[in-house]
């Protein structure tokens, strides 16, 4: 593991504890400081990124824009398209282009802001914040091997991550439902509603719908993020140098072009 991904790994530990503690026994307390752990982890990661200058003002503004767009998408398309929610597109693309740390923050803030705006604040939010944040973090790990120009290989990788993490997040949310809703309910029982064949058809439909949407829209979003000249997190782990207009004079007359700032090269 590179030092660049170490902060994400550290703040993911509280999230893992939230999801695995129900498996250690039924005598554990029904309530956990989930909100405290989540807010402390996300705030610490954000402050570390800002303090180490890996996240500048432009990166913060882009994070706010991603969270705002995903909030609108979540409110407008509550049930999703064929069971597939469009809010994960920006999280996947942001992580793939800008890195695992930025992808985690994009996913975490998108869920947190949309829950507050939509009135969906509850004990389940901390679990969702970590789960969606891990989608962006995994996309960031895969993005370390992306090419300079977007291609079909990038599309295939994003679609694969989306399909795999869709199942993983679904399993994590089942744990979240058990902890926050069903745990301790004496009337809880099992009543199968679908046969095995119907379950497989239902799952295949949702996976296919997600893949079709990714194939249609992911390349445009990937290109849009890749065209941002100053990325919050470059592939080498350092912020890109800012570019400014510098006037150059010659015997043929003055001209202006984009060049690296002299002060930034010192």
Separation between Cα atoms, residue 114 and residue 118, nearest integer Å: 6
We report the CATH number of the domain holding residue 99 as 1.10.1760.20
Q: What is the pLDDT of residues 189-209, one digit of tens each?
A: 555 565 666 666 666 666 665
51 in any annotated domain: yes
User: b vs e for 30-64, b when ≥16 Cβ sit within 10 Å of the residue's Cβ?
Assistant: eebebeebbeebbeebbebbeeeebbbebbeebbe
Structural domains counted in the chain? 1
- Exposed / middle / buried, residue 79 (Cβ in 10 Å: 0-12, 13-18, 19+): exposed
209 in any annotated domain: yes
146 in any annotated domain: yes
Backbone angles phi, psi at 26, to 5 degrees: -85, -5
Q: Is the pLDDT higher at 255 or at 89?
A: 89
3-state secondary structure of 116: helix
183 in any annotated domain: yes
For residues 74 and 114, the answer to whether their CB atoms sit within 8 Å is yes
Separation between Cα atoms, residue 15 and residue 71, nearest integer Å: 22
173 in any annotated domain: yes
Per the structure, the complete domain to which residue 211 belongs is given by: 3-235
Least trusted range by pLDDT, from 2-11, 172-181, 245-254: 245-254
Q: What pTM did the predictor assign?
A: 0.70
Most confident of 125-139, 178-192, 205-219: 125-139
Separation between Cα atoms, residue 207 and residue 145, nearest integer Å: 25
């Amino acid at each position: 593991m590179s030092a660049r991904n170490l902060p994400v790994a550290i703040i993911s530990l509280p999230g893992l504890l939230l999801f695995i503690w129900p498996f250690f026994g039924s005598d554990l307390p029904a309530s956990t400081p989930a909100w405290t752990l989540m807010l402390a982890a996300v705030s610490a990661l954000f402050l570390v990124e800002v303090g180490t200058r890996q996240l500048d003002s432009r990166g913060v503004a882009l994070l706010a824009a991603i969270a705002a767009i995903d909030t609108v998408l979540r409110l407008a398309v509550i049930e999703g398209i064929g069971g597939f929610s469009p809010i994960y597109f920006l999280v996947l693309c942001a992580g793939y282009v800008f890195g695992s740390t930025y992808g985690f923050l994009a996913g975490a803030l998108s869920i947190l802001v949309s829950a507050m705006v939509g009135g969906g604040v509850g004990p389940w939010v901390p679990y969702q914040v970590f789960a969606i944040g891990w989608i962006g973090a995994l996309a960031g790990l895969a993005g370390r091997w992306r090419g300079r120009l977007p291609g079909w290989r990038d599309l295939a990788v994003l679609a694969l991550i989306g399909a795999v993490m869709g199942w993983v997040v679904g399993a994590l949310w089942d744990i979240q439902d058990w902890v926050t809703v069903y745990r301790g309910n004496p009337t809880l029982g099992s009543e199968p509603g679908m046969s095995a064949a119907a379950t497989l058809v239902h799952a295949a439909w949702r996976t296919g719908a997600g893949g079709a949407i990714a194939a249609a829209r992911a390349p445009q979003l990937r290109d849009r993020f890749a065209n941002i000249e100053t990325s919050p997190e470059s592939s080498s782990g350092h912020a890109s140098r800012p570019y400014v207009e510098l006037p150059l004079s010659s015997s043929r007359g003055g001209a202006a072009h984009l060049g690296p700032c002299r002060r930034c090269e010192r």
